[in-house]
Structure 1
Amino acid sequence: MTQDMLLGNEEPSKSKETFLEKFCLLAKAATTTSALLDVIRQALEAPNVFVFGELLAEPSVAQLKDSEDAKHFETLNLFAYGTYKDYRSQPEKYIELTPAMQKKLQHLTIVSLAIKAKSIPYALLLSELEIDNVRHLEDIIIEAIYADIIHGKLFQNTRVLEVDYAQGRDIPPGYTSQIVETLQAWVNSCYSVSNCIDMQIKYANAEKSKRILNKERVEQDLINLKKVLKSQASDSDESMQIDTHGPGTSGGLGQSELRKKPSKLRNPRSAAAVGLKFSK
């Protein structure tokens, strides 16, 4: 049985950005540290906020990194760039997550996996989300689909999540240079492919020209051969006409002479009789 959870091809609406802007404004307006920490916790629990880069960039939030409230900064950093396994590996580094926060972090982990691969086995999802129940896993995936951060289908027979779309996550600091290098490598690869195609086109055109010239040469040779054969056939016909109707060249008798000769030798006995009678 296949469960189709495709929600459409449209990209997420800009309402998520609006929600994030609201928390950025609240962070700017916070006059005390406790108020700022409360804003951070609200952003982490908010169901429609899945990017946190702008909030991290707020000066008041950045100052928390080296303060006694650094756990709030690290937790916000975790939700921006990390995964559920990162949290489980060092839970003491972060604030205690509420059930809503944990579920959101699991949703973000699914997004990270969906960005890397379009076909995600259940086994990998169960491992990354540290879930031992397939039904629970499917519920979390369906929640992520309805949250509009991924589009895809659940194939229960093959136990695979096929992803059609995944929302992008925040880009870690210093990662931009890696993106530039990746894009440059892609551009260089495109140039190489383009040059290879140009060479193949030139080779194909040269081969085509050779074939055309060869074809023209063969056709001309055929025309010349036909002319020679026709000329030889004409000479042969003329020669045969001369041998059949012309005078003999070997001293033999012609046809008219051959027809006349037998008439002189007709009735040899009569001639003998006449000869005998004359001798008496």
Structure 2
Amino acid sequence: MSLSIEKVLEKPLQQFVVQAQKAENQELVEVIKQALDYVDTFVFAELLDCPNVVALETTPYAPYLHVLRIFSQGTYLDYLNKKEQLPELSIHQKKKLQYLTIVTLANKMKRIPYDILLKELNVNNVRDLEDLIIEALYSDVFTGELDQQSGYLEVDWTVGRDVAPNDVDTMIDTLQQWCDSCESVLSTVQARIVDANQTKQDVLRHRAIVESEVVNIKKKIRTQILEEEMLVETSAGPLPNKKSGKGMKFNAVKY
């Protein structure tokens, strides 16, 4: 994952943007082909913004502009639907577009069923599909796991793709929903904190009352014990003096 992030940060497309600013017609087409073939190029907005590339729209080379747009924001099925009007893809270009199609699907669902992948990637069987996914995983286009038993791909992370104008509103709505969700969670947490603090204060007050009652009970018990001891001493009177023999008579016993 960190390797993929480094690749994105390097902006490998920049070299093709520089070349495109100086190229025209067939030479510019070769630059586009190289950008589509290049293994670490997954975004193409900067190249599409080049005036020379935009100018291809009114030339015989317009199909290369259209295929570049598909690589930027489209899917493999988008290409197949217009294949007759577009240039033939190389093996590397075809696989890259299929990889990017998986990225697009992963932005809509984290678990992608094999049935959807087979259709969207135009793959005939599960074995070829799994081989394609494994190649994409090794290419650091996305990270995830294959669940062969259940028949789906679970995606954890993907490279970024160019944002289509129509996607901006969706992104804003998604971010707003996320913000609303965060506000809701924050409010709930704050309410729990208030409840917890109130409960803590109630417990402390109750503990203070209990401790005060315990002290009072102990005092009452001590007072009661002292009073009982004094009562016992008063009732018993003075004890006899065992050391004095006065006043004591003994009768002799005759046998």
Task: State how 1:221-260 maps to structure 2 within 5 Å.
Answer: 221-243=213-235, 245=237
Q: What is the alpha-carbon distance in structure 2 between the residues aligned to residue 19 and residue 244 of structure 1?
A: 109
Bigger radius of gyration:
1
Task: Sort the Cα spacing of 1:155 and 1:188 in 2 relative to 1 into closer, same or farther, 3 A.
Answer: closer
Counterpart pick for 1:30 among 11, 23, 35: 23
Q: What is the alpha-carbon distance in structure 1 between the residues aligned to residue 126 and residue 29 of structure 2?
A: 35
TM-aligned CA deviation for residue 139 of structure 1: 2.0
Instruction: Report the counterpart of residue 202 of structure 2 in structure 1.
Output: 210
Instruction: Report the counterpart of residue 128 of structure 1 in structure 2.
Output: 120
Gaps of 5+ in 1: 1-7, 247-280
Q: Report the RMSD for the aligned CA atoms in angstroms.
A: 3.1
Q: What is the alpha-carbon distance in structure 1 between the residues aligned to residue 205 and residue 220 of structure 2?
A: 23
Flag the structure with more relative contact order, 1 or 2, with Cα contacts below 8 A and sequence separation at least 6: 1
Which segment drifts farther, 189-198 or 11-20?
11-20
Gaps of 5+ in 2: 239-255
Give the percent of matched residue pairs that are identical in Structure 1 and Structure 2. Answer: 39
Task: Sort the Cα spacing of 1:120 and 1:9 in 2 relative to 1 into closer, same or farther, 3 A.
Answer: farther
TM-aligned CA deviation for residue 168 of structure 1: 1.0
Counterpart pick for 2:3 among 10, 15, 18: 10
TM-score between the two structures when normalised by the length of structure 1: 0.70
Counterpart pick for 2:65 among 55, 68, 73: 73
Q: What is the alpha-carbon distance in structure 2 between the residues aligned to residue 171 and residue 88 of structure 1?
A: 21
Contact 1:80 1:169 in 2 (8 A): yes
Contact 2:7 2:40 in 1 (8 A): no
TM-score between the two structures when normalised by the length of structure 2: 0.76
TM-aligned CA deviation for residue 209 of structure 1: 1.4
- The reply on whether 1:172 has 2:164 as its aligned counterpart is yes
Q: What is the alpha-carbon distance in structure 1 between the residues aligned to residue 2 and residue 233 of structure 2?
A: 90
Name the count of aligned residue pairs. Answer: 238
Matched residue SS, 1:29: coil
Q: Residues 150-204 of structure 1, C-alpha deviation per residue, up to 9 Å, x if partnerless?
A: 2334343444434343211111235445434533443443344334323322321
TM-aligned CA deviation for residue 245 of structure 1: 4.5
Q: What is the alpha-carbon distance in structure 2 between the residues aligned to residue 57 and residue 40 of structure 1?
A: 13
Q: What is the alpha-carbon distance in structure 2 between the residues aligned to residue 93 and residue 216 of structure 1?
A: 85
